[in-house]
Amino acid sequence: MAYSEKVLEHYENPRNVGSFDKNDPSVVTGMVGAPACGDVMKLQLKIDKDGMIEDAKFKTYGCGSAIASSSLVTEWVKGKTIEEAAAIKNTDIAEELALPPVKIHCSILAEDAIKAAIDDYKSKQTK
Amino acid sequence: MNYFELFSFTPSYEIDTALLAERYRELQRAVHPDKFANSSEQDKRIAVQRTAQVNDGFSTLKNPITRAEHILALNGFDLLHESTTVKDTHFLMQQMEWRESLEDIAHSSDPDEMIADLHESFSVYAKEIEQDLAQLLLSNSEEELSKAADLIRKLKFMAKLQIELERAEDVLFDQA
């Protein structure tokens, strides 16, 4: 199957790959996986005291579309507030990367990773 | 279509795969389209359909994951067409670690030992899941079956890891 140019571009030059120190109190983590293909995605956000996302990093084991989706998401969330990041939809990701229907689940995984990271943020806030 | 019925098994995760293969050959012979060469067009069509069912049934029951999914499907759970996201952090962390280990094989001072260790870890972990799964699939309570669905999802991740491990082995073998 042919990947779109944007997917290839992110796949060959993934942005913000890696991990933050998980003991840093400003770091939250979202871990998600897709059983259908066995893909695993970790999204970490560094959030300042005002709820602004300062930085983001990801680590994804999966196909090109899954890597591109998570790479794109790290670019998009930087500088956004938690609320703005929570509003990112998988359809936005799929459209930006021109994902074919069989790869839509990769964009869903990336959206769920943002949600999981925000859940982690909220659970840390209430502690 | 209940494939367990087709192969005269009671629906269970644990089946005798040698017996399955034997019954597959018997069924294949019984419905083989060649036997219907002189039959009516309708009988020929039915023979072709039956052959397809027997083949589908065999491949479904042979593979433990699709066999488990079939038991759930017979109970009204459709796992085949789902796009559920797994969020079990503890489980996913372990998956991440194992994926990282697979990457490290290439730079390891003793890659063969590393591969052997990973084979062992994967198989121990998968066996534990499979034992629980076999028990849960005997139940017909919705709660137990939904727990079974979770375990099947985990087994799919383990199957993926196994494929990646074999790929790493192939790479190593090609270099040797």
Clarify whether residues B97 and B134 are in a common domain: yes
Instruction: Give residue ranges of B with CB < 8 Å to any A CB.
Output: 82-87, 89, 91-93, 95-96, 99, 152-154, 156-157, 159-161
Residue A33, min C-alpha distance to chain B (Å): 5
Catalytic residue among A8, A34, A37, A104: A37
Is the domain of B103 the same as that of B155? yes
Same domain flag for B32 and B104 = no
CATH number (domain holding residue A85)? 3.90.1010.10
Does residue B93 sit in the same domain as residue B169?
Answer: yes
Contacts of B99 in chain A (CB under 8 A): 40, 61
Amino acid letter, residue B153: R
Hey, are the CB atoms on A38 and B96 less than 8 Å from each other?
A: no
Looking at the partner chain, which of B85, B153, B160 has a beta carbon nearest the beta carbon of A32? Answer: B85
CATH code for the domain of B134: 1.20.1280
Are residues B152 and B107 located together in one domain of the fold? yes
Q: Residue A127 has what pLDDT?
A: 65
Start-to-end Cα distance in chain A? 47
Give the span between the Cα atoms of B141 and B114, in whole angstroms.
41
Domain annotation covers residue A127: no
In the block, residue with structure tokens 């938690």: A82
Interface test with B, best of A40, A59, A114 (most B CBs within 10 A): A40
From B163, which residue of chain A is nearest by alpha-carbon distance? A38
Q: Domain range holding A71?
A: 5-122
Of A29, A33, A42, the CB nearest to B157: A33
Of A31, A37, A116, the CB nearest to B93: A31
Asked if the structure places residue A80 within a domain, the reply is yes
Q: How far apart are CA A33 and CA B155, in angstroms?
A: 12
Residue A77 located in a structural domain:
yes
Query: Residue B156: which of A35, A104, A108 has the nearest Cβ?
Result: A35
Asked if A63 is an active-site residue, the reply is: no
> Quick check: B80 pLDDT over 80?
no
Q: Is A37 assigned a catalytic role?
A: yes
Residue B140 structural domain: 89-175
Summarised one tens digit per residue, pLDDT across range B48-66 is: 999 999 999 999 999 999 9
Contact B93, B125 (CB under 8 A): no
Q: What is the DSSP letter of A102?
A: G
Tell me what pLDDT residue A22 has.
83
Cβ of B85 within 8 Å of Cβ of A40? The answer is: no
Q: Are residues B50 and B122 in the same domain?
A: no
Contacts A112 to B, Cβ<8 Å: 85, 87
**Under 8 Å between Cβ of A62 and A92:** no
Domain count across chain B: 2
Answer yes or no: is B80 within a domain.
no
Q: What is the pLDDT of residue A1?
A: 59
Task: Give chain A's residues under pLDDT 50.
Answer: none
% of chain A residues with pLDDT over 90: 89
In-domain check, residue B34: yes
Q: What is the pLDDT of residues A14-36, one digit of tens each?
A: 999 999 998 999 999 999 999 98
Mutate to test the interface with B, among A17, A22, A31, A105 (most CBs of B within 10 A): A31
**Amino acid, single-letter form, for residue A101:** P
Is residue B93 located within the same domain as residue B171? yes
- Do B115 and B161 belong to one domain? yes
Residue for token digits 């293969």? Answer: B21
Q: What is the pLDDT of residues B104-151, one digit of tens each?
A: 998 899 999 999 999 999 999 999 999 999 999 999 899 999 999 999
Asked if B164 contacts B74 with a C-beta cutoff of 8 angstroms, the reply is: no
Candidate list A106, A109, A110, A114, residue with the active-site label: A106
Within a domain: A61: yes
The residue of chain A nearest to residue B157, with distances taken between CA atoms, is A38
pLDDT score of B27:
96
Residue A71 lies in a domain: yes
